[in-house]
Amino acid sequence: MSDAGAPVSLADYEARARETLDANAWAYFAGGAADEITLAANRAAWAASWLQPRVLRASAQGHTRVELLGRTLAHPILVAPMAFQRLAHESGELGVALAAAAQGAGMVLSAQASVPLEQVARLVRPEPARGPLWFQLYLQGERGFDLELVRRAEAAGYEALVLTVDAPVHGARDRERRAGFRLPPDVAAVNLAAAPTSARGGELCGGLLASAPSWDDVAWLRAQTKLPLVLKGVLHPEDAKLAHAHGADALIVSNHGGRTLDTALPTAWALPRIADALAGVSGAALPLLVDGGIRRGTDVLKAIALGARAVLVGRPIAFALAAAGPQGVAHALRLLRDELEIAMALAGVATLADVPRELLFEASKSSLGAPWERPR
């Protein structure tokens, strides 16, 4: 990629992806649930937090390293689990995994990946500077199949399991329905090919909730594996406490990128409430991660200030993959890390462990108002 005309922000990649993807794939990657209120609010909530930088602070020994689940990460940016990445580019999850490894970013492989989980692990595990490699699970309602998938992930060398808990059914994705979304014949959730057909029973959602996971399933999964167990999709402080009680090793504060329950609160609002709730529970030192609307290095810094140990980025990675393949993904991750370093330097924080909650000045306390409310 030459410098002339190259993307300089994640938004640039989104614009290029819009020109590259067909209507079917664009609806899938860009869309959210229903009126897409939560989808928009995720981004707006980060923008509504103002930074109060400190000046003349010593930062010569600064760095972006963080400790997470027994590993030292070069920086706190991970690739979120996203299904069917071969919709965006022929290299799919393999290209994203290589790009993430090249940038020292962690990757969470979706259970609905369009390539075998073993193939991704073989490709990137030998990379010495890669970030952590985690595997996402959706419990399928049949413990024999679920346990087989866990054992495959363990044998392949994945370092943690990420159980998504906020999507027992699909959201009402109007944009996908308007586009008549269909997977092309050569793209499928290959790791779930032998998954059981969901049981039917009850009235809600055509009986699909009969096989929806519960806290008992979390406890069962915790007992089946020695891998760290991360719960993804927690927004309520009481659920965060229950996750701790059921043996979770970390939590991802997430509303599924606005793709499930529309008008669910934005993650930037949920994160500090969960952090505060867990701070009041003895022994509940759960690392928190967050996703949803992260587009700038300043967003990453704000997430750390609000209690996150790391962030996950989803749609921008799919857009970069569509626009420029694996090279675009690597460049997008580098842009985000560079912006984080710039934000740290200008905010007067040398390390992420030094980021205080007081770095943020809430828009509601300012006569300037939120960015979208100011006169133009």
Chain segment 271-281, per-residue pLDDT in tens: 999 999 999 88
Q: Is the per-residue pLDDT at 15 higher than 80?
A: yes
Distance CA(267)–CA(290), nearest Å, equals 7
Could you tell me which of 67, 78, 119, 76 has the C-alpha nearest to residue 101? 78
Q: Is the Cα dihedral 250, 256, 261, 264 positive or negative?
A: positive
pLDDT confidence band for 197 (50 / 70 / 90): confident
Instruction: Kindly tell me if the per-residue pLDDT of 375 is higher than 70.
Output: no
Q: Per DSSP, what are the bridge partners of residue 230? A: 162, 250
Give how far Cα 132 sits from Cα of 60, 82, 155, 369, Å: 27, 16, 16, 39
- CA dist 170 and 246 (Å) reads 25
Q: Are 134 and 106 in contact (CB under 8 A)?
A: yes
Does pLDDT of 207 surpass 60?
Answer: no
**pLDDT at residue 94 above 70?**
yes
**108-151, pLDDT tens digit by residue?**
999 999 999 999 999 999 999 999 999 999 999 999 999 999 99
| Active-site residue set | 256
Position 106 pLDDT exceeds 60: yes
Q: Two tokens at 103?
A: 């940038």
Element (H, E) at 66: strand 66-68
pLDDT recorded at residue 373:
42
Instruction: Write out the H or E segment, with its range, that includes residue 290.
Output: strand 288-290
Average pLDDT across the chain, whole number: 92
Share of the chain above pLDDT 90, in %: 86
Is residue 102's pLDDT more than 90? yes
Note the pLDDT of residue 209: 54
Superfamily for 12-365?
Answer: Aldolase class I (3.20.20.70)
> Residue 376: is its pLDDT beyond 70?
no
Tell me the sheet residues that pair with 78: 106, 312
Mean pLDDT computed over 213-232: 97
What's the half-sphere exposure (Cβ side, CA atoms, 13 Å) at 275? Answer: 18
Exposure of 237 by Cβ count < 10 A (0-12 exposed, 13-18 middle, 19+ buried)? middle
Q: What percentage of the chain reaches a pLDDT higher than 70?
A: 91
What residues does each domain of the chain span? Answer: 12-365
DSSP assigned state of 353: G
